[in-house]
Structure 1
Amino acid sequence: MNIFELEGQPPTVLDALPADILMNLQREAEAHAAAGAKMLAILHGVLSRRYARGINQTGTTHVRDGDVEVTVTIPKRVKYDQAALSKAVETIKGWGEDPAEYVQTEIKVSENAYKAWPSAIRDLFKPARTVEAGKPKIELAPAEQKEAA
């Protein structure tokens, strides 16, 4: 079986595949995904040089190239200086206003820092901490063949 035969197979058939077949399918799919990502990156470069070069403003631009209508969208990415924002929030508080009416505040805790904290500090933050399982990553590799002595 190859990766192109996976689509349309019922789960019962796929679930019954031997581990070595699954390993080969996973490797084949990863190779195709890597090749596809590389091709998309090359094409993105070509399209950017051809249609987005010289466009310096954000927004959408339409270009006609023969019988093809090309739409170039350059998204706006806004960044704020965190120290300046903190000063602004303190100024708003000084005015007697509620900064929550103007800005959202998110407090983040590094997991490595949390683990290194003294237990009293960890205990203080523990009620606010939730641990959830992420998406499993499953890798298949051939088992090491031990030679008989």
Structure 2
Amino acid sequence: MNDITILPADLVRLLQTDLTRLDATRLQELVLGLDYQAALIKKAKAQVDTALIKRYAMQAQAALAATGRDFGTAHIADGAVAIKAELPKKVRWDQAKLAEIARRITASGDRVEDFIDVKLSVPESKYTAWPPALREQFAPARTVEAGKPTFTLTVMED
């Protein structure tokens, strides 16, 4: 198997057991090759996406405007090709202003949760810097789980 080039299309057909049997050097080569190809594909996809925006965005916006909308799905045609254009709405909220509004809601006696989705979190760097007494108060609300492992393979020089 070491003398044969394994292409990404072949990799998806290989069994996990076949991949785990490869020697570490071959696995490292595969990782580097896939990372390189993924970067190329990402760049190529970005270029094609930019071309699609330049070619169809104005037509899609006009199609939406014709129906009185700024966002949503528009269907346009380019010759024999039907194009479904998704122009999503992206909303951002000013966190400082929302915090002030939340304080006013609380001050008026209402429940903030009735109006705003609130998710509380504690940055791990702050938690670990706290004195033990403060950490103990928060410990019952804290769950630690393992993340997805990553591995970096490097060929060692002799």
Superposed pair shares fold, TM > 0.5: yes
Match of 1:27 in 2: 32
Distance in structure 1 (CA, Å) of the matches to 2:15 and 2:95: 51
Q: Which moved more, 1:123-132 or 1:38-47?
A: 123-132
Q: How many residues align?
A: 145
Distance in structure 2 (CA, Å) of the matches to 1:97 and 1:6: 57
Q: For residues 1-149 of structure 1, what are the structure 2 equivalents within 5 Å?
A: 1=4, 2-3=6-7, 4-53=9-58, 55=61, 57-145=70-158
Q: Which moved more, 1:79-88 or 1:134-143?
A: 79-88
By percentage of residues, which structure has more helix? 2
Task: Give the direction of change, closer, same or farther, for the CA distance of 1:7–1:101 in structure 2 (3 Å limit).
Answer: same
Percent of pairs with identical residues? 35
CA deviations on 1:121-140 (whole Å, 9 max, x unpaired) are 22221211111111111111
Alignment TM-score, normalising by the size of structure 2: 0.81
Task: Give the direction of change, closer, same or farther, for the CA distance of 1:7–1:81 in structure 2 (3 Å limit).
Answer: closer
Gaps of 5+ in 1: none
Distance in structure 1 (CA, Å) of the matches to 2:111 and 2:39: 49
Distance in structure 1 (CA, Å) of the matches to 2:134 and 2:58: 52
CA deviations on 1:38-68 (whole Å, 9 max, x unpaired) are 1000001100111114739321222210011
Gaps of 5+ in 2: 63-69
Distance in structure 2 (CA, Å) of the matches to 1:9 and 1:47: 35
CA deviations on 1:46-94 (whole Å, 9 max, x unpaired) are 0011111473932122221001111211111112222222232233233
Q: Which 4+ residue blocks in structure 1 deviate beyond 6 angstroms?
A: none
